A and B are shown apart, each in its own frame.
Chain A
Amino acid sequence: MATLNVLVAVCLAYVALLFGVAFMAERAALRGRVKWLRSPVVYTLSLSIYCTAWTFYGAVGYAARSGLEYLTIYIGPTLIMVGWWWVLRKMVRVGRAQRVTSIADLISSRYGKSTILAILVTTMAVAGTTPYIALQLQSVTLSFAAFAGTTEIAGVGNSRWTALWVAVGLTLFTILFGTRNLDANERHHGVVMAIALEAVVKLFALLAVGVFVVWGMSGGVGAMLEQIDASDIGSWQMQGGRWAGLIFLSAAAFLTLPRMFQVLVVENENEDHLRLASWAFPTYLMLMSLFVVPIAVVGLARLPQGANPDLFVLTVPLSQGQTGLAMLSFLGGFSSATSMVIVAAIALSTMVSNHIVMPIWLRVAYGGAKMSGDVRNLVLFSRRVAIAVVVLMGYIYYRFSGGGAALAAIGLVSFAGVAQFLPAMLGGLFWRGATRTGAIMGLITGFAVWTWSMLLPSFGTGEILSPQVFEAGPWGLGWLRPHALFGIDGLDPLVHAILWSMSLNTLVFVAVSLGSFPSPLERLQGAQFVDVFLHSARPQSWSGGVAQSEDLLIMAQRILGPIEAQALFRRAASKQGLVGYLPEPVPDFLNELERELSGSVGAATAHAMVGQIVGGASVSVKDLMAVADETAQMMEYSSQLEIKSEELTRTARQLREANEKLTALSVQKDAFLSQISHELRTPMTSIRAFSEILRDTDGLRSAEKAKYASIIHDEAVRLTRLLDDLLDLSVLESGQVNMNMRRGTLKDILDHAMAAAGGGKALPVQRNRENEHIGLWTDLDRLAQVFINLIANAQKYCDASQPELRILVKPGQAGGIDVDFVDNGSGIPHDRQEMVFEKFARVSDQGAGGAGLGLAICREIMVRLGGRITYLPGQGGGAFRVSLPGEALTTSA
């Protein structure tokens, strides 16, 4: 029992180490030290999640039962890796170009961003992976029990708890490091680092056991080989069909397993890493398989009859009293199981949240893409729940399957299930004629055949399918016998199932594709995927009007976060030569936005969200023409034309807008004199009228006299203030003004401004004073004047029933800072946003006392201070951003 306690302690220490490594990697990534985190070596090691507990324990058992057949499982991936140039390179390139987040995303994106396909693939992937997770839980439990010294494995009450604790621990780890943030690229530095470490541990453990067996127990290589030939599995006996079929199956599964897709494509940082992996990963696989046969042979010879060969890796060292080695071996198995569950759970949860939860949410909250609120939390939450559910399902499967079946059998069933994605995926990558309908029909066919001939029989004869069904087929239909479809008898059941499911899948896929017509979007995506090396630009498929930019910004802020979204929009706007945050929604920009969004929520969902705002017509006649022109030359030519005509349209629109603005300005200029006249004459009227009253009227009471005199006084003050403002503005505009530069802190200036604007009484103000300890070197009085103006404006114009102003300080461009003033009123309509900074421009018709010079003065001041003031659309209220340049900041606060 002492050993067991040590084992538990070692196990916990190991888990703590994994947490530590993952945590450090996340920290390092935050500090931008991604380079060493993302070396090709780490990439190669992360691929080793292919080697699960099925490899670690199961391969030896497999070898003990069927000789060298286990090697097929590693030869398949080796061939794929060695031939990376053909398939993997294209998959990774497409994955990066289209920001694919999972295999479901890849397939759905290729076939016109189809939601149905995404849901179909996700469901199949979950169904195919659950038994596999159960397998990992079972292996940890079995190995634990082997240590505990109990031979009765299935009956140990403890084993349930072991499995449960392992499941809970894995769920926690995965949620912690797999859903930390909604990374635009779905990359998880901590997780990848931890599984790379586990890859080293499991290889080292298996090699250590192998070395011990060959040199410690059998007396060297020569003696070992003789012993192999003398053993029960001493001669080459191989069914050709199984050998070829299994190599094909493992190669297919290597490409289509959701967890492999995650590490191969999604977590891939750089296409070039494939070069190292192309030979290093096959080496890893070779080393993992090297000692399997010796361990199996020694186990068969030395351990009592009936010992579980699946546990030889553990029980052989134990039988020799090598507790330390056995413990290392246990950690190796533990690593294999945990890394698989973690990555599989991440991959599946991404698929479930992107392809099932988000579409449902979009459907339920129709038009909701524009609603306020943060979608990121919804996505993260759904992922966490999905992880828990996926691992839980694995646990439940484990509990109900009884944990009895040989490990390898479950593994192969799972492999064959996900291999059904292969025709749709490869067809999508290499054949432009492949269509959505074809892919759906092929997948359904393959999956149905797999279920009937492989999954259901795997539960055992008489469990789900009765013996009669195996003998005579369902309802007496002999050609539907699960192990002899269409009357073809005598094949190995596994080869039979692979042959029929894959060939029917492919046949239906090709036939239906040829017979159906792809939608325009499918054609565009097809061209993008198949010819990814020719042109990596995205199809131009959106067209929109200018007013939608603000809605798009609101939506993007909720998914990407405000800072990133605003940066993206500003970048796009300046690329188009515009100032502010609202670029023209030209197709290029919309596609870029969609791609950014799809990194967070998947292609189909991103497409739907942009579509909700920009409008349903996603593909124009122009696009169809572009597709119809098959030759690259024609494509080039037409796209050039397209760009030119678009540029013309845009230039025309910009000219028109400039012209409108000029006209509006000239009207304003004309109105300027008349405005000044009005603003000056109004107070003068009162002054003249009351002074005449005071002069001409006899018998005025003294209270009346005092009142009229004070009116005259107030109006004179108003007049003076107006003249001051006018002078101020004209001085600022002419540039003949000296800024009085001093040191101060942002917090003091804001405090001063709030006090001058009447404190927080008239309008509650939310501030985060922690962020405001920023030292400034600027004209403090002028800056305060800007702030006072903005606060006073919010007091005057915020029309919410419970008005409120938020002042937010954020890092700005080029090392400067942004100070945002956001109220909760109805804001400024889009068509007025450009005019608010002009003189005498009042947004509302109600004259609320001001002459309309405040914002014009603010703008001039900010220009003099080297910064600027802009209206910030899409904040759910009136929002002004004061940007101070980096030069205005001092280090000493």
Chain B
Amino acid sequence: MRLLPLLGVGLWAVPLLWNARARETPMSHAVLYVFGVWLLLVVAAGIMAVMIGRRNSDTGEPGEADGPAMRF
């Protein structure tokens, strides 16, 4: 899950390949694709945030990161 940014980079690089296509890509498709990737990333990041929060409380480590005691 921590590889999300790489996934984002990969997916958002796809449109660059469209230039090579013979037919022009309509703007509406591009908009839908880019925002679709965006939504996917946000949801994935949200799930990851919740999971990390749960794991921290499960192991008894406080979510507050005040001291050096906290290790990930």
Contacts and interface: CB of A to CB of B under 8 A. Distances in A.
A67 B27 contact: yes
A78 B8 contact: yes
Interface residues of A, number: 46
Contact of B28 (A228, A237, A283): A228
Contacts of B68: 97, 535-537
Contacts of B29: 236
A891 to B, nearest CB: 35
Most buried by B among A67, A236, A275: A236
A-side interface mostly? helix
B27 to A, nearest CB: 5
Interface string B31-64: 1101100110111111011001100000000011
B49 A228 contact: no
A615 interface: no
Interface string A216-254: 000000000110110101111110100110010000000
Contacts of B41: 78, 82, 282
Most buried by A among B19, B28, B72: B28
A244 B16 CA distance: 9
Nearest to A272: B63
B49 A276 contact: yes
B38 A286 contact: yes
B27 A68 contact: yes
B65 interface: yes
B-side interface mostly? helix
Interface string A260-284: 0000000000111001101100110
A643 to B, nearest CB: 16
A236 B25 contact: yes
Interface string A284-299: 0010001001000000
Nearest to B16: A240
A282 B31 contact: no
Contacts of A67: 27
Contacts of A283: 42
Nearest to B34: A71
A278 B48 contact: yes
Given A243-B15, A275-B49, A533-B72, A234 B42 contact: no
B8 to A, nearest CB: 5
Contacts of A247: 9, 12
Given A229-B26, A238-B16, A243-B15, A86 B34 contact: no
Contact of B8 (A79, A97, A226, A229): A79
B18 A236 contact: yes
Given A272-B65, A286-B38, A535-B68, A81 B45 contact: yes
Contacts of B19: 236-238, 240
A278 B30 CA distance: 25
A75 interface: yes
B42 A286 contact: yes
Nearest to A84: B45
B17 to A, nearest CB: 9
Contact of B49 (A78, A83, A278): A278
A235 B15 CA distance: 12
Interface of A: 67-68, 71, 75, 78-83, 85-86, 93, 96-97, 225-226, 228-229, 231, 233-238, 240, 243-244, 247, 270-272, 275-276, 278-279, 282-283, 286, 290, 293, 533, 535-537
The 5 closest A-B pairs by CB, nearest first: A536-B68, A83-B5, A271-B65, A279-B46, A279-B45
